[in-house]
Amino acid sequence: MTAPIQRVAVVGAGNMGSGIAQKSAQEEFDVQMVDRERQWVERGQSIITNFLEEAVERRIFSPAQVEAIQGRITGVVGVENTAADTDLVIEAVFEDFDVKTAVFTALDGACGEQTVLASNTSSLSVNALAEATGRPDRFVGLHFFYHPAKNRLVEVIPAQASSQATIDKVVQYCKMLGKVVIVCADRPGFVVNRFFVPWLNEACLLLEEGAANAAQIDAIACKAFRIGLGPFGLMNLTGPPIALHSTDYLAEQLNTPRYTGAANLRALVEANEQWDVSEDDAYTDEQYTTVSERLLGVVFGVAAQIVEEDICSMEDVDRGAKVGLRWARGPFEMMNRIGVDEACRMAAAYASLAGKGWAVPAFFNQQGSKEWNFSYVDTVVSNGVATITINRPEAMNALNVTVVNQLTEAVAAANTNDSVHTVVLDGAGKAFVAGADVKFFVDKIRADAIPDIYDFTAEGHALLEALEHSPKTTVALTTGLALGGGLELALACDYRIGTRRTQFRFPETSIGIYPGLGGSQRPARICGIPAARWAVLAGNFMDAQTATDLGLVTHLVDVAAVDACIAELAQAGKPENKYPGEPANPNSPVVAFASSFFNDTNMSVLMEGGCPEGFNPEEKGVARQIKSLSFTAPIGLRMASDLIDATAKTSLKEGLQLELDGLHTIFATKDALEGLSALIENRRPTYQNQ
């Protein structure tokens, strides 16, 4: 693989361009912010300054971090002065084809031949833009969602001429920004705007018809789609002119007259006004049915059209809605809840209104009442390496019953594939796997169905055993966040590759339970009992270096070296000693502290909330550990401690069985329900040792 992107230029220092520049600098890219006049560059820098000052006030960043972020951004006046050695240039100027192509002509002359060019566009043809540059093979479309420093979604739109290397580099850059990436075909509206913009226009048409007032339509939409802001409130926020331009564009490009901007929207824009959403929002059942079915119908039908046209998968359509628009559920998930046949009826009813240029796809009609099945695990085999990617970034790749089942099938297929010698586990987005789906546990406890939790965990153990005893070399690509069950999944592999963005944590004792997928067993066998206590009992966050010092990360590399590291591990094969029982770096300050503070002698005092002899309870590091232990659930802490201690006198198989044997006990406690519920409700739990 070619070197990853590091030097980025953003052309256009407006709200969108400055946001992309800021986010890139936050993630440690070197950034040029380019505009044609100094005043515009300075305006962009002031936008960033104001944004970051607010972030300091909200304690998102420290002043030192803000200084470092701003230090990575260089203002550049004149597109022709963009540095020749820039890896990626993102054009973020007006949605005007001629203006954009003029920018690319200047960039083509200024940049080296290896520079990748990208256009941030929400509507223009990426293929046409690519042909207007001198390097169509090194060009892609991007669609960042506002605000790009906050919204996690980005659509990546390759041109027909885009090389695979170009696509891979840009996707990797977007992932390093922490974005959820949808790679989609170049069709008008791409993915999200393709169904979102007609949804906005349909709301205008409903208002025009007198079905309800604007406030009522917003209230109905909020209930039907489980969202916080309805279509009129959203248009007021983003600007009605944008909605009008977008819907007119889709009407023209898709030859769909129904999408032509509603007369009331056009009049509103001409008068430079906003929607009046101050009226009474109470609605009748009849109004709810009329408005909700129309809005749902257009979304369901367009979502199916997107899949039929092979723009992206149904999983990515849902991802776009949930991440980009912050809807509680995506269109296909909503169809499953309503009933697919009922959803198809709504889409067909809308089709009869839409007329020319709009039809319900045949596969939608043929689905009947059968639910859509979603795939959250993807496997790619290349040169003997099977890369299994957990692709649920909208939920930080959290493990649920479906994901565990699909992952189990993928690992079994790789284990029995004679052409595969190495299995790599990866997670889409910024997380490897951020634990198990906590809501599942809460729902099962409240339904008095703890055996279901046991069965789910036992299935997880079977998956990890398939990795543990795989005939292939197994590698976890933990280049992001790995929490709880995700970290346990990684530790079942032969190797864990980390980068500077790696973060590990076992949060279980602080949420009322103990690690039940090997988290009480494998860490102690990897890095020793005292270090495992530090990691598991106190739930300490581990950065990449700390995880490496402990031995939980086996190979810490630069992002650019990840592929080479995988190749080296594939060549080396399985490790001679996966469980050395001692930290990889005994000279690490964290390792030294863990070894002395969490040794056998001190444990009885620590379990009672005290400070061991020889340690100063006022010292910051000591106080932090005692405080962390005080926030844990007493029963979960005690059971976790006993399970870690058991590693000294049991085999791994026996220890894992002890974990499973304790599940009924721990999940039956009041503290388990309290801790798990508090996590969902974003509050601090109150434990009663019951």
CB atoms within 10 A of CB 108: 15
Quote the DSSP letter at residue 492. T
CB atoms within 10 A of CB 690: 11
Amino acid at site 303? A
Among residues 86, 82, 20, 78, which one has the least CA distance to residue 47? 20
Q: Where in the chain do CATH 3.40.50.720 domains reside?
A: 7-183
Name every residue whose Cβ is closer than 8 Å to that of residue 117 and which is 6 or more positions away in sequence: 88, 89, 91, 104, 107, 108, 111, 133, 135, 138, 139
**250 within 8 A of 189, measured Cβ to Cβ:** yes
**206 within 8 A of 291, measured Cβ to Cβ:** yes
Name every residue whose Cβ is closer than 8 Å to that of residue 449 and which is 6 or more positions away in sequence: none
Residues constituting the chain: 690
The torsion region of residue 227 among left (phi > 0), alpha (psi -120 to 50) and beta comes to: beta
CA torsion sign, 70 to 74 to 76 to 80? negative
pLDDT at res. 57: 93
Q: Which residues of 449-463 are buried (b: 16+ CB within 10 A; e: fewer)?
A: ebebbbebbeebbeb
pLDDT by residue (tens digit) across 445-459? Answer: 999 999 999 999 999
Burial of 546 (0-12, 13-18, 19+ CB in 10 A): buried
Tell me the angle at which helices 240-253 and 192-209 cross, rounded to the nearest 10 degrees: 110
Domain 7-183 has CATH 3.50.50.60: no
CA torsion sign, 202 to 205 to 211 to 213? positive
d(CA 524, CA 645): 9
CB atoms within 10 A of CB 505: 21
Dihedral pair phi/psi, residue 77, rounded to 5°? -100, 120
Quote the DSSP letter at residue 80. G
Q: Where in the chain do CATH 3.90.226.10 domains reside?
A: 377-681
Residues of the chain below pLDDT 50: 1
pLDDT at res. 3: 79
Q: Which CATH architecture has domain 192-366?
A: Orthogonal Bundle (1.10)
Instruction: Identify the bridge partners of residue 30 per DSSP, sorted by sequence position.
Output: 7
CB atoms within 10 A of CB 379: 18
Q: Which CATH architecture has domain 377-681?
A: Alpha-Beta Complex (3.90)
d(CA 358, CA 447): 45
**665 within 8 A of 639, measured Cβ to Cβ:** yes
**474 within 8 A of 432, measured Cβ to Cβ:** no
d(CA 133, CA 116): 11
pLDDT at res. 2: 66
For the record, the structure tokens of 322 come out as: 């949930």
Dihedral pair phi/psi, residue 448, rounded to 5°? 55, 45
For the record, the structure tokens of 239 come out as: 């600007």
Q: What is the pTM of this model?
A: 0.90
Q: For Cα atoms 518, 523, 527, give the angle at the middle one, nearest 5 degrees.
A: 160
Quote the DSSP letter at residue 258. G
Q: What average pLDDT is seen over the chain? A: 96
Q: Where in the chain do CATH 1.10.1040.50 domains reside?
A: 192-366
pLDDT at res. 288: 98
